[in-house]
Each structure stands twice: as C-alpha cells, then as structure tokens.
Structure 1
Amino acid sequence: MGVLYLLFLLLSLGCMALLDHRFRLFFFADARRAALVLLIGVLFFTGWDLGGIGADIFYRGETPFMLGLTLAPHLPVEEIFFLAFLCYLTMVVFGLVRLAAGKAAARDRVKQ
C-alpha cells in the first residue's frame, strides 16, 4: 500500500500524456522545448521546496500511502513526481486554452 500515492501520480501523468498526444499541446508539439520547460519548472519548485524545508516551513507528513523514501530530509521521492505532474498539467492547460482561443478566433473570422 506504500506505493499507492506514487501510482496515482504516475496514472495522472499518463492521463496528461494522453491528452497532450491527442491535441499536440506540449511534448507532442515540440518535445525538446517541452522537456526543457518541464525540467526548469521541476528544478525551480524543487529549489522552492528545499528552501521551505531549510526554513522549517515544509515538513514531510507521514502516511501509509507513500514509499517512505526521501531524497533529502522532509523531501519524499513522490514530491518530484508531483512537481512534474504540476508543471505538466499547467502546460497542458495552457495549451488547451491556447487551442480553444485559436479556434474561437478562427470561428469569429469566418463569421465576419
């Protein structure tokens, strides 16, 4: 049961990848750029987490759903997957909004 949280994070990442693939929103639009943006986002938020941990703001909560492995004190391995999911979700939503806005603009041009 200790792997449940990580499995749900991986499942969520997989769902984002399917949505991305279907509409070519992020990785499937430009894989090199997407990998760089995702890496920068994960590194930024990992630094943010480490800063919060160092300032005694963030703590690792105990739950039976996590592996119990840490990369640093109070930084569980699942946090990196969560940050990747958060960044990926943000970029997929951005791509969806951009796609919808482009379609709405095209529809308005046709009406005129």
Structure 2
Amino acid sequence: MRFAYAAVLLVSIAGMLVLDRRHRLVVFAAPLRALAVLTIGVGFFLVWDLAGIGLRIFFVGDGPYQSGVRLAPELPIEEVGFLLLLCHLALVLAAVAERVRRARRGAGAGE
C-alpha cells in the first residue's frame, strides 16, 4: 500500500492525457507551449511548497499510502505528480471553457 497515492496520481494523470488527446485540448494541441506552461506552473508551486516548508507551514504527515520517498525534507515525491495533475487539469478546464465560449459565440452569430 506504500505507493497507492502515487499509483492513483499516475492513473489520474493518464486519464487527463487520454481526455486531452481525444479532444486535442492542451498537450496534444500545442505540445511545446503546454510543456513550457506545465514546467512553469509545477516549478512555481514547488517553490511555493519549499517556502512553506521553510516557514514550517507545510509538513508531511504519516500515511500508509505514501511512498516515503522525499525529494527534500517534508517534500514527498508524490507532490510533483499532484502538482502536474493540478496544473494540467487547470489548463484542460481553461481550454474547455474557451471552446464552449467560442461555440456559444458561433451559435449566437447565426441568429
């Protein structure tokens, strides 16, 4: 059970990529731009996490589902997967919202 959380994160990331690929939303629409934005987003939140750890705001609790692997004190490796999922989800939701907006604008133009 040690890697359960990491496994769930990987399955979730895979699901987001399948959805992304099916509708060509982010990564499969503009791979280089998506990689840049995801790198910046994950990097920003990792710096945020490190600042919170340094200020003793964030810490890792004991849980049977965590791998126990740390990138730094109080920074579990699963955090990178979570941040990647979070950033990709935000980009996918923004892309979907933009498509809905365009579809509504296009449908309204013919009336």
Structure-2-length-normalised TM-score: 0.98
Q: State the percentage of identical aligned residues.
A: 41
How far did 1:19 drift? 1.2
> 4+ residue runs of structure 1 moved beyond 4 angstroms?
none
C-alpha distance in structure 2 between counterparts of 1:110 and 1:3, whole Å: 53
Aligned ranges for residues 7-46 of structure 1 at < 5 Å?
Answer: 7-46=7-46
C-alpha distance in structure 1 between counterparts of 2:95 and 2:7, whole Å: 25
* 1:87 aligned onto 2:87: yes
C-alpha distance in structure 1 between counterparts of 2:102 and 2:94, whole Å: 12
2:102 equivalent in structure 1: 102
* 1:56 aligned onto 2:56: yes
Deviations 1:41-63 (A, max 9, x none): 00000000000000000000110
How far did 1:12 drift? 0.7
What SS class does the counterpart of residue 71 from structure 2 fall into?
strand
C-alpha distance in structure 2 between counterparts of 1:45 and 1:4, whole Å: 23
C-alpha distance in structure 2 between counterparts of 1:106 and 1:31, whole Å: 27
Aligned-partner residue type, residue 8 of structure 1: V
How far did 1:24 drift? 1.0
C-alpha distance in structure 1 between counterparts of 2:102 and 2:61, whole Å: 43
Aligned-partner residue type, residue 47 of structure 1: V
